[in-house]
Amino acid sequence: MKLNDNYKNLNESYLFSTIAKKVNDFIKTNPDKEVIKLGIGDVTLPLCSEVIKEMHKAVDEMANKETFKGYGPEQGYDFLKQSIKEYYEKKNVSLELNEIFVSDGAKSDLGNFLDLFDKENVVLIPDPVYPVYVDTNIMDGRKIIYANANEENKFLPMPDSSIHADLIYLCSPNNPTGAVYDREQLEKWVQYANDNDAIILFDAAYECFISDSSLPRSIYEIEGAKKCAIEFCSFSKTAGFTGVRCGYTIVPFDLKDDNKINKMWLRRQTTKFNGVSYIVQKAASAVFTSEGQKQIKENLNYYKENAKTICETLDKLGIKYTGGKHSPYIWLKCPNAMNSWEFFDLMLYKLALVGTPGEGFGENGKNWFRLTSFNTIEKTREAMERVYDYFK
Ligand code: PLP
C-alpha cells in the first residue's frame, strides 16, 4: 500500500482557522464590541420563494407512488438542461442538451474534471485566485506555472506566447479580485489556447453579477471558444444554492479530438457519480422562470448595493481596489504599504471588522485584502462608517 505522496506537497491552509481564532479571541476579550464580518464568501439571503415553491412540489411528488423518482440520469434531467440551454440562448450561445452536465456544484466538477487529463500536462493558473485550482492539481502532481495578476494588469493577466501551457484556468468575474475580462481579452486567451492545443477551464461561478451587457458572461460568447474551453457554472452565488448544491458544466462537442472529451466526461460521470437529486434539480429549474429570474435579481441587487457602499467609501478615502461592480468581492490595496495580515489585525483590533487577507489567495495577494458584499445593508453601512472615520 502506497499513499499519494503529492498530498505532502499541499500547503496547509491556516487562513480560515487563523482568522476564526483571532476573531473568537477578540470577541472573548471585547464582549462589548459588535464585530462585523465582511470576509464571508457565502451568500446570506435565503432561497427565493419561486425556488422554495418548486422544491416543495418536488418533495410532494416524492411522497406519491405515481410521481416518485428513483435514480435519475447522471448528467441531469432534461427539464433542467433545457432551461440551461435557453439561458445560454439569451447570451447568443447555442448548446446541445448533451453538452450540458448537471452536478452538485462547480467545486466538485473543477476537481473531478482533472481525471480526464494526463499528469504530464502543464497547468497555468492566475495568482491570486480561488485556491481549489492549485490544490487539485498538486494532489495529482501536475506542474503548475503562474500567471501574475497584479495592479499593473488590473488583476487580469494576459497570455504570454513565449510560455506553453496545456491547461489554463480563467475565473471571470474573479474570486478574490472581482476583476472581469472583456471580450478582446478573452479573444486573446481563446487564440492562445487554440494555438497551443490547450484547454481553458473557465470558471463562470459569478457570471450573474455582470451587469454590463458588453462584458462576456460565458466564454462561448467568444468565437472559437467551443474548440478549446470547458465552462463551469454554479447556482451557489446566482441563486443562493451554497447549501443546496447544484451546478453545471458545459463540455462542447467541438472540443478537440472529435468529441472525445465530452464522451470521456460522460463516461466518468456515469461511472463515478449518480446525479443530483430530483428535488434539487426541480428547485434549480425554478431559477430560470421569469419570476425566478426576477427574484434572484432582487437578491443580487441587494448584494450589489452593499458592494456599492464599500466602493464609495474606498473612493472617498482614495484607497485603490478592483471588483465590486460586477462581483460580490472588493479587492483593496492595504493602505500605508501594510501587508495583508497587518491590515487584518488593524481592521479587527481597531475597528472590529473582519475581512480576508489577500495572501490566502496567492503570493500576489500579500498586500491586498478581500471584502465581500454578503452581509446586511445595515451592517455593511455601519462597517464602512467605521472604516471612513478611521482612515479619513
Ligand atoms: N468557483 C469559484 C471561483 C468560487 O469562488 C466558488 C465558491 O466560492 C466555487 C467555484 C464553488 O462553487 P460551488 O458552490 O458550486 O461548488
- Of 136, 175, 246, 356, which is best to mutate to test ligand 1, by the most ligand atoms within 8 angstroms of its C-beta? 175
| Of 237, 233, 245, nearest in space to 283 by CA | 245
How remote is the CA of residue 132 from the centroid of ligand 1, in Å?
A: 9
Under 8 Å between Cβ of 233 and 217:
no
Could you read off the pLDDT tens digit of each residue along the chain, which spans 392 residues? 999 999 999 987 778 889 999 999 999 999 999 999 999 889 999 999 999 999 999 999 999 999 999 999 999 999 999 999 999 999 999 999 999 999 999 999 999 999 999 999 999 999 999 999 999 999 999 999 999 999 999 999 999 999 999 999 999 999 999 999 999 999 999 999 999 999 999 999 999 999 999 999 999 999 999 999 999 999 999 999 999 999 999 999 999 877 799 999 999 999 999 999 999 999 999 999 999 999 999 999 999 999 999 999 999 999 999 999 999 999 999 999 999 999 999 999 999 999 999 999 999 999 999 999 999 999 999 999 999 999 99
Domains annotated on the chain, with CATH = 5-47+296-391 (3.90.1150.10), 49-290 (3.40.640.10)
Q: Is the preceding peptide bond at 157 cis, omega within 30 degrees of 0?
A: no
- Of 15, 110, 125, 130, which is best to mutate to test ligand 1, by the most ligand atoms within 8 angstroms of its C-beta? 130
How remote is the CA of residue 308 from the centroid of ligand 1, in Å?
A: 22
Distance CA 302, CA 373 (A): 9
Query: Atom 12 of ligand 1 has which residue's CA nearest to it?
Result: 106
Under 8 Å between Cβ of 357 and 38:
no
233 lines ligand 1 (CB under 6 A): no
| Of 181, 174, 173, nearest in space to 222 by CA | 181
